[in-house]
Chains A and B, each alone.
Chain A
Amino acid sequence: MASDLEQKNKKTVRALLLLVLVMFLFAVALIPLYDILCEITGINGKTRQESSILNYTIDTQREITIEFITSIGAGTGLEFKADKYQLKAHPGEVIKMTYTVRNKTNKRMFAKANPSVTPGPAVGYVKNTKCFCFATQVFEVGETRHLEVQIVVDPALPAHYKRLTFGLTFYDTTK
């Protein structure tokens, strides 16, 4: 009788410990799951480098405004501006923007920019074909550089989007 109970308890404990493990793994799995969810829904505005060459037909009937926003993280001694705040373009067209970045500090700086697109649900339609944001950049003391970004907006972008915001934030990653 007693050993019977012990067996039952052991079984319960084993099952529950398994549940604990599953939930812990679930928490870890939330990271990739969230990334997938973000890719679908655009929650955090992250865009990715497109590997393939995109061949859209340019929709000349439609014009959208693309806004280029720049930010820097706290303690990042860079001056960082898009050469133009915004421009109008047709969906499907390759949109180029040059950014001017200056290292205002007197140290050599490693820095990386992260993109963010808003509104979120439109993120999937903004294709980043060229961006300095996917690699760490090195800025010599006082160096000024002009860096280029190319994006293409998928013509399938739902009609009610008239304005897209492409944001870049530079962070000093010097160790």
Chain B
Amino acid sequence: MSAVVAEHEHDDHHDHGPEKGFLRWIITTNHKDIGTLYLFFALAMFFVGGTMALIIRAELFEPGMQFVSPQFFNSMTTMHALVMVFGAVMPAFVGFANWQIPMMIGAPDMALPRMNNMSFWMLVAGILLLASTLFMEGGAPASGWTLYPPLVLQTGAALPFAIFAVHMLGISSIMGAINIIATIFNMRAPKMTLMKMPLFVWTWLITAFLLIAIMPVFAGAVTMLLTDRFFDTSFFDAAGGGDPVLYQHIFWFFGHPEVYVMILPTFGVASTIIPVFARKPLFGYSSMVYATAAIAFLSFIVWAHHMFTVGMPMAGELYFMYATMLIAIPTGVKIFNWTATMWQGSMTFEAPMLFSIAFVVLFTLGGFTGLMMALAPVDFQYHDTYFIVAHFHYTLVPASIFIIMAGAYFWLPKWTGNMYNERLARFHFWLSAISVNILFFPQHFLGLAGMPRRIPDYAVQFADWNMVSSVGAFIFGFSQLLFLYIVIQTIRGGTGEKVTDEVWEDAHKHGLEWTLPSPVPYHTFATPPEKIPTEHF
């Protein structure tokens, strides 16, 4: 980013360059600046959420309570999830969207630049408000990120603040989503028809619609929690004739699409990176688009598979089981397509490709366990155990987080004009890929052997695998400092080697952004490009 500044400090066209000084970052409406802000914020929150995870894993290193009280432990699991979901993963993808979508579709900026700025600062305010609950009387929310009543209503002074924070995060996401949809709908270069858009743009378009559909629902649910606690309503209060399970239905109507909000852009980035390093067009472009849409659609009709044990009528259990199993089909299509993209390619294995391949493999593992728990009768055993913890961490850490890192290595050279240190990046990859498995794979065993999730202490037969998992967690956690170092080093000049405009061999065939100079100028595509890469057709 300083490289971008440096580039433009030499530029005499002041009215086209960024503001000077710190104020630039506060008032900026430039999509690249805002993308940078989002990405740095996500990285910071990744370390905050990661520190919470390490507190959890430190307590679980050995049986017995060593460091924290059970209540604080529950606050940590809750805040870890909220910070990682709303502070790290989602903002990172919004950051990519800000940087890449205008460049990928040949637009000069996002459609609504001022709203773009607002949605970022709203996010920061929301997360700060959420973090402030840690210091309130009674502690931060400790009822899990799902905020189930009646338990969540036992939260201390933090409850209204946490709910208000959720509102702000929701508004921020909705503004971001509206902006992305408006950009994609209205600002594409003339020849960029919908079915010629890069898959990253497609997945974000669908994700943005998901966000707009679900965030208001979540806002509604938490608002009802608020009125239940403070205004004597009893939406979810059994004593007043309400129904705590109703909250779970509303929450998961939001919550299930929400997990796809984190995975669909992941698919998009992977579909962008793999063809470049396989030196082949993406296999089955249109089936990828349809599969993404199918997954998004299915995400709205499977929510109660998170609630198999609440005691639904048999017909409900069976319906949600069958519907959930269906998701395996479009997801499978995607994995097969990525494999077919690699097939008979001419592959090289730079860091972005390594992370992407690890994503395909490890996400598939997470998908397998997902299929297993789709079967309701078996889920009666898996539900709320470490098997579930292992499952969703496989679909988030070596999937979404790995792909965010792949994207960073992939696009940073383009953005800064500097090459990252490939040797260090590969070292970072191998450290991460090995430790993430030491961290999460044993959790499958723990869950199957009977260890419930969200417990601060456990029976001694779970001790060995917990210790292994904690060791993996610390290696994984500290490995990410290496990532931070590589990113900063790249921004500040990298290896010293200046990259070409297309950065990666023949990348210009894969997307408009690679036809721009490296580093990309502060303003790009003031006039829409004449030609677009059409290779996948």
Contacts and interface: CB of A to CB of B under 8 A. Distances in A.
B238 A171 contact: yes
Contacts of B177: 16
Interface in A110-127: 112, 114, 119-121
Is the contact region of chain A dominated by helix, strand, or loop, or is it mixed? helix
Given A23-B212, A30-B249, A43 B316 contact: yes
A30 B219 CA distance: 13
Given A9-B112, A24-B220, A73-B238, A16 B313 contact: no
B238 A41 contact: no
A156 interface: no
Nearest to B183: A9
Contacts of A28: 220
Contacts of A137: none
Contacts of A43: 245, 312-313, 316
Contacts, number: 93
B397 interface: no
Contacts of B238: 73, 114, 169, 171
A38 B312 CA distance: 11
A5 interface: yes
B181 interface: yes
Main secondary structure of the interface of B (DSSP, over half): helix
Contacts of A19: 212-213
B327 interface: no
Given A12-B182, A12-B185, A41-B313, A31 B111 contact: no
Interface string A5-42: 10011001100110111011011101100100010011
B interface residue count range (under 10 / 10 to 19 / 20 to 34 / 35 or more): 35 or more
B186 A9 contact: yes
Interface string A35-58: 000100111101000000000000
A60 interface: no
B19 interface: no
A17 B219 CA distance: 15
Interface string A97-138: 000000000000000101000011100000000000000000
A24 B239 contact: no
B239 A31 contact: no
A13 to B, nearest CB: 6
A5 B313 CA distance: 51
B181 A26 contact: no
B434 interface: no
Contacts of A171: 238-239
Contact of A13 (B112, B217, B241, B246): B112
Given A20-B216, A24-B217, A73 B239 contact: yes
B187 interface: yes
Interface of A: 5, 8-9, 12-13, 16-17, 19-21, 23-24, 26-28, 30-31, 34, 38, 41-44, 46, 73, 112, 114, 119-121, 169, 171, 173
7 contacts: A8-B185, A16-B182, A20-B216, A23-B214, A23-B215, A27-B216, A73-B239
**Closest 10 A/B residue pairs (Cβ):** A27-B220, A171-B239, A24-B216, A23-B216, A27-B217, A12-B182, A8-B186, A16-B178, A9-B111, A120-B313
